[in-house]
Chains A and B, each alone.
Chain A
Amino acid sequence: MDGDLARSTQPDITLISPQQIREKRLFLPDSDDEDVPIFEAPLNSIAAMTPLATGAADDSESDFELPSVEEVPRASSVSSMSSVVSRDSSPPLPPQTTIRSSLPPTKRRRLSLSTQPKPAIKSDGMYLGTVLVPNAWSTVKGKGYIKPGDEVMIERDTPEDTSAAGTSVKGKKKQLTLKSMLKSQPVKNVKRKTDTIVRLTNKGGFEFGRLPQDIAGWVSKLLDMGLINFKGSTMIDCPAALYSGADMIVSLSVYISAPAFKPVNASDASTHPKAMFGQGKETDEEQSLRGRKTALLALFDAVNLRPRTGARALNNDQISGGDERQSGKRAQKPVGTKKTRTEVVGDGEEIEVEEGEELSDNQLDLIYRKAQQHDQAMKEMDPSPTFTLTLRGYQKQALTWMHSMESGEVSAREATSMHPLWSEYVFPAEPCNGLIDLTEDDKPFYFNPFSGELSLDFPKVERRLKGGILADGKLGMGKTIMISALIHTNKGPEPVNDDGKESTRGRQLRLDNAFRAIPSNHTKRPTKGPSATLVVAPTSLLLQWSEELERSSAPGSVRVIVWHGQNRLDLDALETEEDCDTGIPIVITSYGVLASEHSKFEKSNGQSSVYQIEWMRVVLDEAHHCKSRTSKTARAVYALRARRRWAATGTPIVNRLEDLHSLLKFLDYTPWSSYAFFRSFITLPFLARDPKAIEIVQVILESILLRREKNMRDSDGKRIVELPPKEDTIETLHFSTAEQKIYDSIYNTAKRNFDQLNAKGLVGKNYTHILAMLMRLRRAVLHPDLVVDPKEEANEPSLGPQCMEIDAFIHDVAERQISGTSNTSFAKNVLSNLAAPETDECPICLDVMETPVIIPQCLHRCCKDCIVCYITACIERNEEGRCPSCSGGPIKENELIEVLRPKTDDEMKTAPVTETIAAPEVELRRNNFRSSTKLDALVQNLRRLRDQDPYFRAIVFSQFTSFLSLISTALDREHLAWYRFDGSMDMKKRGAAIAEFKQNERKPKVLIISLKAGGVGLNLTCANHVFMMDCWWNAAIENQAIDRVHRIGQEKTVYVKHFIIENTIEGDILEIQKRKTAIVKEAFRGTNKSGKADSESLENLKLIFGDH
């Protein structure tokens, strides 16, 4: 198309001297490739280094030379710059002759070889408009150089000219030309000078003037990149006799050349494996892109070309302005000082995370909103009959959507809007012999003001990938079931992959490995395409996946393999043995296994069957596990070969926009899968507060993400999920005196430490140290034992038998009575009344004893808390603990005997008869377990619960596994059945724990879960009581944990209780949670490698260590 246009615009290119042709012939091949002998070596190498060069070289070369060619109709005020009036669309000036001026090298100059464009070449450019330059200035003195109406040629030279000045005329010519062309290419490690001189030459090739700096700035860039050329530029006005510095008015007709429309992201980082791990460093390609973009924007401004629709139509200034700011910022912030912090991803893999701007909840809502717009109206689809469960309406909608995403049909949601980054422009009509053909159709072209890309094709929001992100709420809406339905409905096998187009980037990157891997197994394969599905999930969920898949499938319709642990099967069998009868093969594995397989695969000639198979479908469950693209987990996931890719996660964006990138990369959603691209067009604009960033993300998500919230309504206006209510309560507790002391001392040490560091301004450097102190505080809140030195703990007597026989104890006491050490009648009285409900006062608190303990020596009794507190106080004074009533002693805390009465009389009447009551009425127990306020509160809550519901099921969450152990001990003492689930357990044990907990038994059960290991994925709807022992910095994490219980399948009201101790760090954390801003970010923001903190984190620390 532009070829035709080009021809028509140049009706008067007629005269070419033979010499010219010869020149040209010499010239063109030169430019074309590096193996032309005339070339000088250094240049070749440069050319070879520049990917863009190869495609564009030929065109850009000739284009570049075009402007100087000959007469083109002068711009007759087509463009909006109507002031530019060229009187003369007259016949061409005399044929071009190339005159090499042999000026001294100091006056560096480059003269264009004036050539005619290849007649057949359709790339002489599209007319863009005319720029009137009112203040070009002369560099020469005298007459005859130029006169108004004469054609002006635009010349550009390069800094390298100086060095090349000595070469032969011919060589120099080529060199210059070539160089100028190449210069636009990103040449790594070559620092380019910012020379922007643009020379004006007359037809004789003699320089007579230059463009003013402001215009030369972008003109030089565009010329260097070969994006534009000038044809028929005219001298409008100049003094008859030039003198140095004389003002001249020049009209420049700008043509945009064909190569400008070639995709530039061919050189994008995605093809450079290294760039993948570049931690956001701007690549040279990017830099050049940015230059190109800025220059193009300036050009469009100059020719007064405005976008008809699209991105730039909105906020022109923000884009360019924002860009400037960013580049400035980037310059100040070298990569090394980027803020990072350590996060745990995947299966316990720790990674350094670069800090980006985190998102507030509002922003997140905004981001998802667009993706949710049309969800209500989506059609429902019934799954294949081999899927045996009944889907809910919204699940059927999800199936529709996923099915269409996989089959590549038009998206369930129509997404035909223009790509958000692009804007549409219209080529201005080119004056042809002074006339404008008004009948001509508008010829639109498209410009991406973010990347500087130009295109002639309508940039659709396109989607090449098969798959997407299933991001249904942060709750159990049945992601597993939906995926299962998808597996059943879209079963393979896929056609054999013959075109190779589908190959993923992962494959490209590892091409060598991939080929090495193939020989043995893949030779057989071509008979059938892939049909197996790989599910990657956190270790804790593997069994659940397998169960759910089996449960939802007709017998024999699937073949589920949990690929985990030491004896992993050879997965090759999966493909080769595959028969239609054996069902759909599904392999379930964990991120951890995948990561280790990946490193194995990379190291050992690709001996890893999971990477040798081409999967039909890969599903990442809890896909945010690989949100950091540099983590091993993420890399392992990218390298999988699959036709269809799904990421299921409730939090596609955990707290940064960049979290999304990793998913896009996994999905191979070009171009966003390229980090550099994502960063330039999303992250950085977002940091610059450009609302466009969010819009872009919205459009991306609209096309690939499905997200419904549990409170969303279906087309009938019903909630898509009806869940029983959830009651959230916070129980505020008070430390016991002893605990308060321990906490205070730790707090004061920490505060002193912090104050000192703060005074010296060293907080930033000792950040990790302070974080450790904070951690200690958080542990101290839970239980004093969690902060005691392990040495001290070692001294504690090992736990003896906890329960004592009453008879044995009485016998023991009786023996001592014989020896006459004790008051007989008193002791008898005490023991005989043990079973009676307590009415006696504690001598210390003067209250009725709630948890009485007996002092074994004298049988005096106190409240447990009181006597423990007293003994602690005595020990602090270096005294021995004595009985408060009789001063008998010494007594020790762990010798005290607790009296446990299962129920009071009243309770016994109301409560149904249970096994618990069948237990001995009174129980004595050694007090060899140190409890804590929180533990006691938990135990008391559980006791109450047991009274109300003898078969209750409760979940207890804590972040600290050591605290989980204490909890389990406390539960033991209460004779409550408990099950534990934490990260240290292997999968079998975890599965067993969950299974036992879920088992239907007539007794109360408690499941204690580490927040990190069990906060996601598990389905625990059999329980309806949740106890949060500690608070996490981020309420979302807590909610996700609670959603283990409050999810589909839950039929009862869910009671959630948070235990918070007053006037401790927990209150601060709660405050932080409440404010829900990007603040404190756990006060953990910004630990980077050097342990430095940013100022915001410091403020947060001050907040914590501020006076309460």
Chain B
Amino acid sequence: MALPKRIIKETERLVADPAPGITAAPHEDNLRYFDVTIQGPDGSPFQNGVFHLELFLPEEYPMSPPKVRFLTKIYHPNIDKLGRICLDILKDKWSPALQIRTVLLSIQALLSAPNPDDPLATDVAKHYKENEKDAQRVSREWTEKYASQ
């Protein structure tokens, strides 16, 4: 099936005018599949880390949200061991007015502001709740270990 105009447009814009700290490039053989990197936001335990993600635009996109997953291991209460992300706009709060760019910016923001009250990785969330400092230390360690380039 032909690629909808919207996806082409979004891709063009992502390339031409990338969001700060974010790159996204489609695979040549599948223009719905993107390789994404997000820099850890400054001031967060993920600072200086470069996180790899994959993003896939399903057939229904933009009527349904893109599928996004961290490929890089990350110690974050809203991201589980498999890299799955707990973010409302990727689920029920999706709106077709959102775009790849906005989704990735939201994820970047999520790194800055973990939300242990709506956890996906329960052990990490517990850790963050009980001892945030220590948890942030682990996050930093993981970032250094897995996300430093």
Contact = CB atoms under 8 A, between A and B. Distances in A.
B123 interface: no
B27 interface: no
Contacts of A140: none
Contact of A846 (B5, B60, B92, B95): B5
Find the residue from A844, A870, A883, A887 having the highest chain B CB count within 10 A.
A844
A869 B62 CA distance: 10
A696 B64 CA distance: 68
Contacts of B93: 887
Contacts of A844: 6, 62, 96-97
B96 A846 contact: no
B9 A866 contact: no
A90 interface: no
Contact of B6 (A846, A879, A884, A885): A846
Find the residue from B6, B60, B92, B97 having the highest chain A CB count within 10 A.
B97
B97 to A, nearest CB: 4
A873 B9 contact: no
B96 A882 contact: no
A350 interface: no
B96 A843 contact: yes
B63 A869 contact: yes
Interface in B1-27: 4-6, 9-10
Nearest to A879: B92
B57 to A, nearest CB: 13
Contacts of B95: 882-885, 887
A846 to B, nearest CB: 5
Nearest to A843: B97
A846 B63 contact: no
Contacts of B98: 884
B63 A845 contact: no
A1077 to B, nearest CB: 33
Find the residue from B10, B95, B98 having the highest chain A CB count within 10 A.
B95
A885 B98 CA distance: 8
Find the residue from A845, A846, A870 having the highest chain B CB count within 10 A.
A846
A847 interface: yes
A884 B96 contact: yes
Contacts of B5: 845-847
Nearest to A882: B95
Interface string B58-92: 00101110000000000000000000000000001
A194 B61 CA distance: 80
A866 B96 contact: yes
A592 B42 CA distance: 87
A116 B112 CA distance: 131
Interface in B97-133: 97-99
A8 B92 CA distance: 113
A994 to B, nearest CB: 44
Interface string A727-761: 00000000001000000000000000000000000
A873 B64 contact: yes
A844 B95 CA distance: 9
Nearest to A873: B63
A869 B92 CA distance: 17
A884 B97 contact: yes
Contacts of A884: 95-98
A466 to B, nearest CB: 65
Nearest to A870: B96
B5 to A, nearest CB: 6
Contacts of A737: 63
Interface in A865-921: 866, 869-870, 873, 879, 882-885, 887
Contacts of B10: 846
Contacts of A882: 95
A887 B98 CA distance: 11
Top 8 closest pairs, chain A to chain B, by CB: A884-B97, A843-B97, A873-B63, A884-B95, A844-B96, A846-B9, A884-B96, A885-B97
Given A846-B99, A847-B5, A879-B92, 5 more contacts: A737-B63, A843-B97, A846-B6, A866-B96, A887-B95
23 contacts: A737-B63, A843-B96, A843-B97, A844-B6, A844-B62, A844-B96, A844-B97, A845-B4, A846-B6, A846-B99, A847-B6, A847-B9, A866-B96, A869-B63, A870-B96, A873-B60, A873-B63, A879-B92, A884-B95, A884-B96, A884-B98, A885-B97, A887-B95
